[in-house]
Structure 1
Amino acid sequence: MWCFVSESPSVVREYRIPHSELGQVLYDKVCEDLGLLEKSYFGLRYRSKRGELLWLNLRNPLVVQLRGRSPHRLSLQVKFFVSPQELQQPITRHIFYLTLKNRLLLGHYAVTNEEKIKLFGLIAQAELGDADQTLPTQYHTILPDLSEETINEVLTAHREVMSDTMTPTYAEIQFIGNVSKLPGYGVEYFCAETKERVQAVIGVCTTGLQILTQARELMHSIKYEDISKVSYHQNHFSVHYYRSSGGTGVEDVLTALKFRLSSRKIAQALFRAFTESHTFFRCESVERVVRQQHSHTGFGSFLVLMKPDTSRGKVFRFDVGHTRRQAYDSAWRKLHPGNSPTQDQRWSLDLENYGAQRTWPVSSTLRSTHSQEILLSRQPTGSQPPVQIPKPPSATQEDDSSPDSTPEGTLPHKANRHDGGSPMSAGPAEEEMMEKLQDQLSNLQESRLCQVCLDNEMTTVFCPCGHMFCCETCSKECNRCPVCRAEVIYVQRVFFS
């Protein structure tokens, strides 16, 4: 497999990797070329055939992720944005700088024009050196698409930051520190739609979930500690969280928010981003339910119904090898063989959010009822106002039976009861049986999905080989069967009864 991995727009590395190799092989080669030891903070990002921006899962084979013709283009980017003081290697800080610079130029951060010009001045100092040795035309090479007026403002800001101590390396550090204080630092955004057809943005960050408007104005923030469950089905994403009563003496209520995303892969990416971010920033260790949760693709999705333990077509859902603390300690031991960071050394980092606690913020993942759902522990925090998502003036109430219009539930946090009023109870055996049935149902639903787009049901059979693999739309692009590589003479339409 022929791959191009870009470290920056001007640095692209070429690799030849066997199709059957895991993504980890490619990532290790990239890190080895860079001399990067702090691997846990980064990942490889690529665009799918349909243009979706996805993270490469290092635990799965490249062939099931990178589809289409070679060469495949990926980029090395920051995946987990920690405090700048936690970065121990110069190359780590440099890649952080490149990722943050790219996001700034793409408008990821909501900054004033004055703040942006100051940041551009630091970029100029980091990449061009002192202002008195820089030609005006050189600014266009590092800051494209800027007007002459803006370039003059950047030149002034560049001269202001120039000093004897402001080396290019220190300018990068200063840039990272300034960007880390911006509201959008470390947030991964996903465009979504509410049941009222209102456009919204869901942000996954170090503290939980953010619900924003299209203009990136924060409407509500839901902390990890208050989230009970997240799940997805097809292109729908749901989050259940506890809303505090604000000290009124009334029990906290369980609120469900449901969103629709552009495709199933984007819903999967949001589900994965939430789970991995929660594990990295809030857990003491990577739990078993996160390490082992998987699904099956291709023929494996059928075989798993008869042989649940089969590894045929097995792909892991999550790719997070360390927590925040483990990542820091692992890098420290590699850079200082034979030593481990003491508590004082670790907390000399002065983490802004947690420095006064002297403990790393943790919570735990309780269990997964099936492969598309994660249950979290819940430790309620202070009062939070209910989520207010504006409705368009012309919006009308839809039928509750519609899968796209499931009402947002607000239920008291009490035990479910039968009609007679006695608490509903289930023993461990019943709960285990229910989990197995839900898992089998999830596998059955996934086994009927098109293995190309993962959105529609499989509705065609390739003839004469007889393999059932994709939907009618995707079958038109296949001249050979993706399973056996036999030539497709014609495509037969089939129906599930």
Structure 2
Amino acid sequence: MHHRRLSAHALPRLMSSSIRSLDRECNCTVRLLDDSEYTCTIQRDAKGQYLFDLICHHLNLLEKDYFGIRYVDPDKQRVIKPLKEIYLLFVAQPPFTMCLRVKFYPPDPAALKEEITRYLVFLQVKRDLYHGRLLCKTSDAALLAAYILQAEIGDYDPGKHPEGYSSKFQFFPKHSEKLERRIAEIHKTELIGQTPETSELNFLQKAQMLETYGVDPHPCKDVSGNPAFLAFTPFGFTVLQGNRRVHLLKWEEVTKLKFEAKTFHIYANQKEDKKIILTYFAPTPEACKHLWKCGVENQAFYKLEKSSQVRTVSSSNLFFKGSRFRYSGKVAKEVMEQSAKIKRDPPEIHSAQILQMGHFSLLVARQHDGVIISIGK
């Protein structure tokens, strides 16, 4: 029998082909909203939409248009655009780490069709509270934290919850002992019998009434050089200064968003034909362009009736001169209409909270039926 032999030249070609195939793959880790991690191997030329769909399948998430993937670099956070190739967004070496986050906050969390979606939004807003993005007065802070306690450990039980038990949780960047006592008092006396699902919904309904619900702040300066934070929320364009909202322009009032270099302009028409132009300065031209794109996306999502109304917009009055950008995706009204058509048994939810108690850790998990299970020490 005639045996074909590989030539000395063919072997390196096969080896280099195999190496090239490996080079085209990279490990990717996505940190989820409960701080667990989802790891996968993807092609370097994979699109952001492919990775996002993998995560949504992993989470059994259908109402996915509210969410996005973020890659955190030393300067800023960027949501991966579905049509972009993932590898173009990274300058660091693999493995790449990204985060699943809420991109568009639902105007009314109670209107979400599925509990899994509400739970993920709850985790995001709880994170906003902890990182100081959701600002509120002390009485609201105590109630929000008490809802978190009820959702995560259930009814107060003196046999399980010793004095100072609420201090094991981190609700805010910092808080006083007086606030801690008030949180425990509300949890002990006012929330008895609430299921995790009910507590999470009550938390979200309270949070959505606050001025900073849905705020993802962009640091800027006003024309006088004073620090300001610009943000886009379900209800409009917001400016915060000194932990206080100084401007709110509703989306139906905003007529144009523009930027040039580090300068950002917002044009609006208010009642009685009152025209407003607000001007702010971003730290860098790149940050300003990112701010502008976020504004264009949010205005399209919350303001338009249907995605067919989306148009390519220019950053400048001269269409051929400035940056151009077009939002790609459904708008809020379409997302709500699509959610209403979901017909399936509710997916099981596994939520986890690790409480550090001395040298022990208690892992508490909740399943969809509301049962609280102690899993380990």
Q: Which residue of 2 aligns with 1:179?
A: 207
The corresponding residue for 2:152 is 127
**Would you say the 8 A contact 2:66–2:105 is kept in 1?**
yes
Give the Cα separation in 1 of the matches to 2:69 and 2:49: 10
Aligned match for 2:263, one of 231, 236, 245: 236
**Is residue 21 from structure 1 mapped to residue 54 from structure 2 by the alignment?**
no
CA contact (8 A) 2:230 2:240 kept: yes
| 1:293 CA displacement | 6.7
Closer, same or farther: CA 94–196 of 1 in aligned 2, 3 Å:
same
Contact 1:43 1:76 in 2 (8 A): yes
Q: Tell whether the 8 Å contact from 1:280 to 1:320 is kept in structure 2 after alignment.
A: no
Letter in 1 for 2:225: R
* Matched letter for residue 342 of structure 2: K
> What root-mean-square deviation, in Å, do the aligned CA atoms of Structure 1 and Structure 2 show?
2.9
**AA partner of residue 85 (structure 2):** P
| Helix, strand or coil at the partner of 1:17 | strand
C-alpha contact 1:279 1:285 (8 A) present in aligned 2: no
Select which of 94, 105, 109 maps to 1:70.
94
Which stretch of structure 1 is more off in the superposition, 271-280 or 94-103?
Answer: 271-280
TM-score by length of structure 2 reads 0.73
Q: TM-score, normalised by structure 1?
A: 0.57
Write the distance in 2 (CA, Å) between the matches of 1:154 and 1:319. Answer: 42
- Per the alignment, do residues 170 and 316 of structure 1 end up closer, same or farther by CA in structure 2, a change over 3 Å counting? farther
State the match for 1:154 in structure 2.
183
CA contact 2:133–2:216 (8 Å) conserved in 1: no
> Cα gap change, 1:161/1:12 in structure 2, threshold over 3 Å: closer, same or farther?
farther
* Distance apart, 1:56 and its partner CA: 1.8
Q: Structure 2: 5+ residue runs without aligned partners?
A: 1-25, 346-377
Equivalent of residue 334 in structure 1, options 336, 339, 342: 342
Select 1:272's aligned residue among 293, 310, 334: 293
Shift of 1:114: 2.2
**Contact 1:128 1:134 survives alignment (8 Å):** no
Correspondence for 2:247: 220
Task: Give SS of 1:334's match.
Answer: coil
Q: Secondary structure at the match of 2:302?
A: helix
Q: 2:231 aligns with which of 195, 199, 203?
A: 203
Structure 1 residue 231, shift from structure 2 partner: 1.4
* Structure 1, gaps ≥5 residues long: 247-251, 296-304, 306-314, 338-497
Following TM superposition, by how much is the alpha carbon of 1:147 offset from its aligned partner in structure 2, in angstroms?
Answer: 6.0
CA deviation profile, 1:201-228 (whole Å, cap 9, x unmatched): 2221223222331x13222222333333
Aligned ranges for residues 86-165 of structure 1 at < 5 Å? 86-132=111-157, 134-136=160-162, 139-143=166-170, 150-164=179-193
Q: Deviations over 1:120-139 (max 9, x none)?
A: 11111111122106434764
1:262 lines up with 2:305 in the alignment: no
**Distance apart, 1:267 and its partner CA:** 1.5
Equivalences, count:
309
Instruction: Supply the distance in 2 between the matched residues of 1:331 and 1:120 (Cα, whole angstroms).
Output: 29
Deviation of residue 240 (structure 1)? Answer: 2.4
Instruction: Say if 1:335 and 1:15 are closer, same or farther in 2 by CA, change over 3 A.
Output: same
Q: Give 1:349's aligned residue.
A: none
Deviation at 1:20, TM superposition (A): 0.6
Q: Deviations over 1:335-391 (max 9, x none)?
A: 369xxxxxxxxxxxxxxxxxxxxxxxxxxxxxxxxxxxxxxxxxxxxxxxxxxxxxx
Q: Percent identity?
A: 22
Give the letter aligned to residue 294 of structure 2. Answer: A
The SS at the match of 1:108 is: coil
Partner residue of 1:322? 330
Report SS of the residue matched to 1:69.
coil
Distance in 2 (alpha carbons) for counterparts of 1:159 and 1:12: 33
CA contact (8 A) 2:262 2:285 kept: yes
Cα distance in 2, alignment partners of residues 193 and 104 from structure 1: 24
Given residue 339 of structure 2, which amino acid in structure 1 is its aligned partner? A
Cα distance in structure 2, aligned partners of 1:258 and 1:59:
31
What's the secondary structure of 1:131's corresponding residue? coil
- Matching residue of 2:221: 193
User: Of residues 79, 90, 96 in structure 1, which corresponds to 2:103?
Assistant: 79
Deviation at 1:101, TM superposition (A): 0.4
Do the aligned residues in 2 keep the contact of 1:58 with 1:319 (CA within 8 Å)?
Answer: no
SS at match of 1:67: coil
- Partner SS for 1:225: coil
User: Could you tell me which amino acid in structure 2 is paired with residue 168 of structure 1?
Assistant: P
CA-to-aligned-CA distance 1:389-420 (integer Å, 9 cap, x gap): xxxxxxxxxxxxxxxxxxxxxxxxxxxxxxxx
- The answer to whether the 8 A contact 1:187-1:206 is kept is no
Contact 2:146 2:184 in 1 (8 A): yes
Cα–Cα, structure 1 residues 149 and 70, in superposed 2: closer, same or farther, change >3 Å? farther
DSSP 3-state at the match of 1:175: helix
Shift of 1:33: 0.5
Residue type of the alignment partner of 2:186: A
The alignment partner of 1:335 has SS state of coil
Deviation at 1:153, TM superposition (A): 3.3
